[in-house]
């Protein structure tokens, strides 16, 4: 039986936040009719002068986010909607990264969001409700699982020495990923400030499912944007979001275009809607909020490590798309110099091919979707199209905090190709009976290179950020190992056919 579902596809010809553009001619800037707003980052705890920023980055004389000329329907004042629009003392930047590169009309709403975020951090009722929901609804805390067979495999290939591998099982969260930690908390904030509609964008569907689930639990309307091609690849996730009550809309282009459309929808109806981002990117305070609500992963890991072996991990490994699951694991340990923080980006067909999503490895500093960070861009400042077999990693930028960790050497970043991620996907399935997402498979894909660099008897924790059952079709379509798996499947099908034929012959003889 075939189940049909219907989604609408909308154009992103004029995005709310267009591609980052570099301008080297002052006269060109002054003649532009498109609204370009660069706010002084006076609210930041750590600030960088324009001259210093230009000396320490590859930015030209001026880098700006160019906003669509499409009307935002915000001619009227928003101050009556935002009772507290004064800036707070929450750090808006990480070194030179982050900030609020957005239209003036959005500043009041971002200030309100920041103020509300600071309030809930110290609101006992909110924290108690969130703690109860994380425990009883999400299923926290998630296990720190000793992957014994995977450990033995790598030790065998490394002369019998090496660390023990542990998996932080975020794939066991309700809705199947770490995304639920942040989605539930932000949906509670949306309800708290009286918003009726939650708007979000998703790529692999994990954030979409988490957001739709949280909205269903809290009685909020939900609208999810996805790239049209992702609708086809993640068919089962789209169906689940629909069953959860969300309205799913397709967008021409990639995930970045779906993210832009979600922002436009929010901007067009800020009185009633809330933009629930699952990425640690965007204007302040969004990256900080996402990282904070995901940091429960690292706090649990520290406590569980102390219980299991009486110490800290020697290394933490996580995939890096925009940074939510990596920062969720890393943040608790940023001050521990003896703990290596290892982020793994999508290498696609290889860095030399140009078809990848390795922003920190190959990107340059620029402004995208409201914040300064590393992003993939050409010589003209236009964002280039990212590629990864994992749709959740197809984004041309990364968050400001990870950008800062790269520049300061606070974390290490590597790339894993599509093929290596596919290998890792199959390896974890066979060795541990765990089906991790293609995104998380990138983290496992670096273990072969990382393992020999770690001390014998040490401990390495890999973040299983999401389950990967919805990636099975993608894996089988792209599998290019040695054809052994496909051959086994074909052999099994042939055996079944021969067995059936034999039964028919025996029945005929009777």
Q: What per-residue confidence (pLDDT) applies to 492?
A: 62
- 52 with 98, same domain: the answer is yes
Provide the number of structural domains found in the chain.
3
User: Of 265, 291, 317, which marks where a domain is finished?
Assistant: 291
**Local confidence band at 484 (pLDDT 50, 70, 90 cut-offs):** low
Cβ-based neighbours of 357, under 8 Å, separated by 6 or more: 321, 345, 346, 348, 376, 386, 387, 388, 393, 394, 395, 396
Residue 2: inside a domain = no
Q: What is the pLDDT of residues 124-138, one digit of tens each?
A: 999 999 999 999 999
- 272 with 303, same domain: the answer is no
Q: Is the pTM of this model over 0.85?
A: no
- 44 with 113, same domain: the answer is yes
Residue 94: inside a domain = yes
Q: What is the pLDDT of residues 384-442, one digit of tens each?
A: 999 999 999 999 999 999 999 999 999 999 999 999 999 999 999 999 999 999 999 99
Handedness of CA 64, 107, 10, 230 (dihedral sign): positive
Q: What per-residue confidence (pLDDT) applies to 476?
A: 87
- 187 with 282, same domain: the answer is yes
Residue 3: inside a domain = no
- 257 with 336, same domain: the answer is no
- 440 with 504, same domain: the answer is no
User: Of 291, 312, 339, which marks where a domain is finished?
Assistant: 291
β partners of residue 367: 372
Residue 234: burial class (beta carbons within 10 Å; 0-12, 13-18, 19+): buried
User: Of 291, 306, 332, which marks where a domain is finished?
Assistant: 291
- C-alpha 318/C-alpha 326 separation (Å) is 5
DSSP 429-451: HHHHS--B-HHHHHHHHTHHHHG
Residue 48: inside a domain = yes
Residue closest to 207 by CA, chosen among 235, 232, 188, 226:
226
- 269 with 404, same domain: the answer is no
Alpha-carbon torsion, ordered 290, 291, 294, 299, to 10 deg: -160
- C-alpha 293/C-alpha 133 separation (Å) is 13
**Local confidence band at 3 (pLDDT 50, 70, 90 cut-offs):** very low
- 261 with 329, same domain: the answer is no
Q: What is the pLDDT of residues 24-50, one digit of tens each?
A: 333 233 333 333 333 333 333 333 333
- 116 with 227, same domain: the answer is yes
- 254 with 320, same domain: the answer is no
Residue 473: inside a domain = yes
Residue 1: inside a domain = no
Residue 69: inside a domain = yes
Q: What is the pLDDT of residues 268-302, one digit of tens each?
A: 999 999 999 999 999 999 999 999 999 999 999 99
**Residue 203: domain span:** 8-134+177-291
Residue closest to 362 by CA, chosen among 349, 377, 373, 372:
377
Query: Within 13 Å and on the Cβ side, how many CA atoms surround 399?
Result: 29
**Local confidence band at 118 (pLDDT 50, 70, 90 cut-offs):** very high
Residue 99: inside a domain = yes
* Domain at 383, CATH number: 3.40.50.1100
- 266 with 412, same domain: the answer is no
- Residue with token string 């995104």: 439
- 222 with 370, same domain: the answer is no
Residue 404 structure tokens: 């800062």
Q: How many residues does the chain have?
A: 510
């Amino acid at each position: 039986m075939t189940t049909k579902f219907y989604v609408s596809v909308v154009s992103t010809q004029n995005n709310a936040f267009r591609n980052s553009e570099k301008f080297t001619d002052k006269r060109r800037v002054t003649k532009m009719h498109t609204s370009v707003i660069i706010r002084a980052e006076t609210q930041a705890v750590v600030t960088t002068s324009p001259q210093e920023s230009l000396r320490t980055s590859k930015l030209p004389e001026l880098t700006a986010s160019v906003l669509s000329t499409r009307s935002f329907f915000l001619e009227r004042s928003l101050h009556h909607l935002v009772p507290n629009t004064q800036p707070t003392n929450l750090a808006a930047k990480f070194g030179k990264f982050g900030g609020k590169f957005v239209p003036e009309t959005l500043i009041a709403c971002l200030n309100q969001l920041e103020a509300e975020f600071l309030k809930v951090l110290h609101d006992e009722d909110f924290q108690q409700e969130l703690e109860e929901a994380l425990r009883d609804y999400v299923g926290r805390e998630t296990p720190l699982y000793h992957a014994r067979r995977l450990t033995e495999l790598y030790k065998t290939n490394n002369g019998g020495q090496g660390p023990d591998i542990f998996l932080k099982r975020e794939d066991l969260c309700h809705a199947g990923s770490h995304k639920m930690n942040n989605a539930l908390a932000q949906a509670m904030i949306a309800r708290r400030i009286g918003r009726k509609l939650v708007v979000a964008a998703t790529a692999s569907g994990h954030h979409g499912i988490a957001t739709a689930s949280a909205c269903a639990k809290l009685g909020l309307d939900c609208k999810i944007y996805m790239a049209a091609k992702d609708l086809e690849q993640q068919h089962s996730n789209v169906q689940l979001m629909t069953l959860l009550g969300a309205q799913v809309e397709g967008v021409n282009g990639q995930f970045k275009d779906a993210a832009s459309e979600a922002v436009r929808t929010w901007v067009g109806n800020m009185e009633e809607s809330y933009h629930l981002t699952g990425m640690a990117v965007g204007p302040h305070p969004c990256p900080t909020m996402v990282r904070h609500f995901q940091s429960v992963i690292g706090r649990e890991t520290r406590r569980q490590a102390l219980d299991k072996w009486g110490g800290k991990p020697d290394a933490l490994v996580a995939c890096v798309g925009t940074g939510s699951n990596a920062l969720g694991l890393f943040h608790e340990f940023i001050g521990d110099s003896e703990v290596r923080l290892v982020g793994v980006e999508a290498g696609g067909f290889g860095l030399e091919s140009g078809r990848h999503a390795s922003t920190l490895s190959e990107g340059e500093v620029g402004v995208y979707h409201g914040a300064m960070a590393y992003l993939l861009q050409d010589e003209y400042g236009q964002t280039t199209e990212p590629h990864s077999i994992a749709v959740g990693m197809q984004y041309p930028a990364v968050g400001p905090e990870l950008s800062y960790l790269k520049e300061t050497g606070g974390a290490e970043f590597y790339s894993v190709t599509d093929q290596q991620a596919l290998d890792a996907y199959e390896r974890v399935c066979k060795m541990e009976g765990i089906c991790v997402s293609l995104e998380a498979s990138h983290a496992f894909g670096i273990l072969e290179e990382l393992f020999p660099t770690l001390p014998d008897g040490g401990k390495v924790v890999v973040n299983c950020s999401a389950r990967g059952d919805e990636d099975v079709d993608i894996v089988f379509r792209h599998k290019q190992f040695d054809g052994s798996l496909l051959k086994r499947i074909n052999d099994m099908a042939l055996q079944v056919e021969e067995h059936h034929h034999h039964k028919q012959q025996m029945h005929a003889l009777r």
